[in-house]
Structure 1
Amino acid sequence: MAKGSIIELHRNSGNWNKIVGDIVKLERKIFPKHESLATLFDQELRKKNSGLLYLDLDGEVVGYAMYSWPSSLSALITKLAVKEEWRRQGHGEALLKAAIEKCRTRKVSRILLHVDPTRTPALTLYTKQGFQVDTLVEAYYSSDRNAYRMYLDFDSN
Structure 2
Amino acid sequence: MPAPSLPPGRPREVRGQDMPDLLRLDQAAFPDDPMRNSTLRQLLDMYADHLLVIEDDDGHLCAYVLATPPYKGESWIFSLGVAPAKRGKGLARTLMTKALETVRAEGASTVRLWVEPTNEPAKALYKSLGFTSDPEGARPDHFGPGAHRLGMTLKL
What TM bracket, shorter-length normalisation?
Answer: 0.7 to 0.9
Corresponding position of 1:8: 13
Superposed displacement of residue 60, structure 1: 1.8
Contact persistence 2:13–2:49 (CA under 8 A): no
Mapping of residues 60-139 of structure 1, within 5 Å: 60-69=60-69, 71-134=71-134, 135=136, 136-139=138-141
With over 3 angstroms needed to count, the CA separation of the structure-2 counterparts of 1:37 and 1:131, relative to structure 1, is: farther
Superposed displacement of residue 145, structure 1: 2.6
In 1, Cα distance between the equivalents of 2:104 and 2:72? 11
Structure 1 outlier segments of 4+, above 6 Å: none
With over 3 angstroms needed to count, the CA separation of the structure-2 counterparts of 1:48 and 1:143, relative to structure 1, is: closer
In 2, Cα distance between the equivalents of 1:37 and 1:74? 26
Superposed displacement of residue 57, structure 1: 2.3
Tell me the SS of whatever aligns to 1:44: helix
Corresponding position of 1:22: 21
Q: TM-score, normalised on structure 1?
A: 0.84
Tell me the SS of whatever aligns to 1:39: helix
Amino acid aligned to 1:144: G
Superposed displacement of residue 80, structure 1: 0.4
Mapping of residues 141-156 of structure 1, within 5 Å: 141-154=143-156
Larger displacement relative to structure 2 (27-36 or 61-70): 27-36
> Unaligned 5+ residue runs, structure 2?
none
Amino acid aligned to 1:44: L
With over 3 angstroms needed to count, the CA separation of the structure-2 counterparts of 1:142 and 1:50, relative to structure 1, is: farther
In 2, Cα distance between the equivalents of 1:30 and 1:39? 18
Superposed displacement of residue 34, structure 1: 4.5
Larger displacement relative to structure 2 (115-124 or 102-111): 102-111
Contact persistence 2:13–2:48 (CA under 8 A): no
Aligned-residue CA RMSD (Å): 2.0
In terms of fraction of residues, the more strand-rich structure is: 1
In terms of fraction of residues, the more helix-rich structure is: 2
Contact persistence 1:50–1:66 (CA under 8 A): no
Tell me the SS of whatever aligns to 2:46: coil
Amino acid aligned to 2:68: S
